[in-house]
Amino acid sequence: MKKKIKKKNKYVGYLFIAPHLISVICFLFIPLLYSLVISFYDFNLFKGFAGSVFAGLDNYRKLIMDERVFVSISNNIKYMLGTIPITLCLALFLAVFLNDRVYMKNILRTVFFLPYIASIAAMGIVWMRIFSPTMGLLNNLLAKVGVLNPPGWLSSEKWALPALMIMAVWGGLGYNIVIYMSGLQSIDRSLYESAQIDGASFLQKIRYIIVPLLSPTTFFLIITSIISSFQVFGAINIMTKGGPGDATYVIAYYTYMTAFSNFKMGYASAMSWLLIAIIFVITLIQWKGQKKWVNY
């Protein structure tokens, strides 16, 4: 009877996860395998496999010779290095601040989190106005504090990518704060009390208690942030279209343009698998390196 009950419970569990499992298989695994297959073809989007030619590894060879691929990856790396450390440091500081007895703490937490759930299209339009070289709020503020030649931001090859980084930090800060605050709730208050008795300062509490005990949370945020930074697309599609020049071309946007503007689906699929490989390698390095700095 016990075996029958266990078997029945197992099938009930499968029934509960079936809707999500079916959606993952249909909308994730099957498209992934399909894109892997067509990456070996000179694929015709309008005729399917009937009008396509098997190309072998040609699409992957083209990736090595394509200069724009290397420019896109370089921009992705700059975007990653320019957003993740700043976002994590600011989020940790604000999370510690909001975790204490702060007036209107819940309202402030909501205010910080709102940009994360806002529409990327709406955010892009608002930030385009803020970054406007002539009528933008940011350049007007810079002019009032004495900056004679404020940057052109989205119209400048030098400043377009930093402008997108500023927007990304603003948009992702709330999510990181909420995750850090949930981690802070799990730290035993007696550790703070012991540190205070020993005469530890506020900064010493952060260094010796908060940072080590939040290292698993930081590791999680680093991994997810790296993946998100390599998948950035919406803001670039709305605000810069990869320009000016190739200043904001990233691998996700280049894949999209190759597939749906130039209709080179096979080459775009190869590019998407290159992106998967890059993310996998970086994640693997982080996973191996966590043993040296993550304290569980």
Distances (CA, A) of 42 to 25, 49, 192, 261: 26, 9, 62, 16
Looking up tokens 């993310």 gives 279
Give buried/exposed letters for 161-175 (b at 16+ CB in 10 A, else e): bbbbbbbbbbbbbbb
Amino acid at residue number 262: N
**Collapsed DSSP state (helix, strand, coil) of residue 46:** coil
CATH assignment at residue 153: 1.10.3720.10
- Cα separation values, 99 from 117, 186, 197, 210, Å: 21, 12, 21, 12
- How many CB atoms are located within 10 Å of the residue 105 CB? 14
From 34-43, 96-105, 119-128, 276-285, the region with the lowest mean pLDDT: 96-105
Tell me, yes or no, whether 282 and 254 share the same domain.
yes
Residue 59 covered by a domain: no
Q: What percent of the chain has pLDDT over 70?
A: 97
Same-domain status, 154 and 260: yes
CA gap 217, 211 in Å, rounded: 10
Q: Are 124 and 235 in contact (CB under 8 A)?
A: yes
**Tally of domains within the chain:** 2
Q: Are 101 and 231 in the same domain?
A: yes
Strands (E), the chain: 41-44, 48-54
Number of helices followed by number of strands (H, E) in the chain: 15, 2
Q: Does any domain span residue 77?
A: yes
Strands (E), 45-140: 48-54
Q: Which range of residues forms the domain containing residue 89? A: 66-292
Alpha-carbon span 19 to 91, nearest angstrom: 35
The predicted-structure confidence for 71-81, as pLDDT tens digits, reads as follows 999 999 999 99
Tens digit of each residue's pLDDT (9 = 90 or more) over 83-93: 999 999 999 99
Q: Evaluate if residue 63 carries a pLDDT over 70.
A: yes
Do 207 and 238 share a domain, yes or no? Answer: yes
Which residues touch 175 (CB under 8 Å, ≥6 apart)? 113, 116
Give mean pLDDT, residues 168-192.
92
| Token pair of 240 as six digits | 């810069």
Domain check: are 122 and 177 in the same one? yes
45 and 125 in a single domain? The answer is: no
Residue 232 domain flag: yes
pTM of structure: 0.91
Query: What's at 223, amino acid-wise?
Result: I
β-bridge partners, 42: 53
List CB contacts of 174: < 8 A, sequence separation 6 or more.
112, 113, 114, 115, 116
Question: Nearest 5 degrees, angle CA 215-CA 221-CA 223?
Answer: 105
Residue 61 included in any domain: no
Is the residue at 60 inside a domain? no
Residue 148 lies in a domain: yes
pLDDT at 45 > cutoff 90? no
Other C-beta atoms within 10 Å of 295: how many?
A: 11
Same domain (yes/no): 50, 70: no
- One domain for residues 80 and 35: no
pLDDT at position 135 is: 86
